[in-house]
Structure 1
Amino acid sequence: MSAIASTSTPVIDALMGAISCLSREEKKVLVERVREEIIADDDDIPEWHLEILEEREKLRAAGLDESIPVEDAFRQIRERFQQERMKS
């Protein structure tokens, strides 16, 4: 667990209690809104990164993205990581 993930405050604990009551879809909406809030507050994001995000959002809105469930993405990342470790 990262240092950030293990940091807890009364506010975070209260929010986590409220989040646990949300549906999966509501949690997805919340994550997206928090991500947007972080991006809006972060002036250090390079312009090229924002361009990539905007292009991906256009593809998603047009139904042309190839998104996969986060569980599948994590599984694929773990598999690639294990393959790379085996090569070393």
Structure 2
Amino acid sequence: MNQDTILQQETSLKEARLKRRQLLRVFDTPDGRDILSFLEARFQTDLPVFQGSPGNYDPLDAMRRDAYREVFLYIRRQLQLALKESTTENKND
């Protein structure tokens, strides 16, 4: 790998960590946790994407439900990573 590629990767990692910290600051509060719970309930992210009787699925509805679920899962995963990173940083201090 050349030096430019390594530098770009390091910059991307720093930016990703910064965004995760921002998400953690927003959602790791009582209001943030309430909003996440509201979004989870509102978009029913715990239910299967395909709803209805077998063979009678609405593909657009399934696509929409999958997109809602994906965004919610992305936020949740970024929060988990941010918590793990902050725990690791605290141990190193």
TM-score by length of structure 2 reads 0.28
Larger Rg: 2
Return the structure number with greater relative CO, CA threshold 8 A, min gap 6: 2
Q: TM-score, normalised by structure 1?
A: 0.29
